Amino acid sequence: MASGARILVTGGAGFIGSHLCERLLAEGHDVLCADNFYTGTKANVAHLMGNPYFELLRHDVTFPLYVEVDLIYNLACPASPVHYQRDPVQTMKTSVLGIINMLGLAKRRQAKLLQASTSEVYGDPEIHPQHEGYVGHVNMLGPRACYDEGKRAAETLCADYRRQHRVDAKLIRIFNTYGPRMHPNDGRVVSNFIVQALKGEEITLYGDGNQTRSFCFVNDLVEGMTRVMNSDSDFSGPVNLGNPHEITVRELAERVVAMTGSASRIVYRPLPENDPKRRKPDIGLAQKTFGWEPRVPLEEGLAQTIDYFRRALG
For residue 6, give Cα distances in angstroms to 21, 29, 165, 230, 247. Answer: 12, 6, 22, 14, 39
Residues 105, 65 contacting (CB under 8 angstroms): yes
Sheet holding 71-74, edge to edge: 54-58, 30-35, 6-10, 71-74, 112-118, 169-174, 239-241
Which of 38, 84, 122, 147 is flagged as catalytic?
Answer: 147
CB 208 within 8 A of CB 142: no
Quick check: 95 and 77 in contact, CB under 8 A?
Answer: yes
Measured at the CA of 50, the angle between CA 49 and CA 53, to 5 degrees, comes to 80
Catalytic-residue membership of 147:
yes
Decide: 31 and 5 in contact? Cβ < 8 Å. no
DSSP track, 233-249 = TT----EEES---EEEH
Which of the residues are catalytic?
A: 147
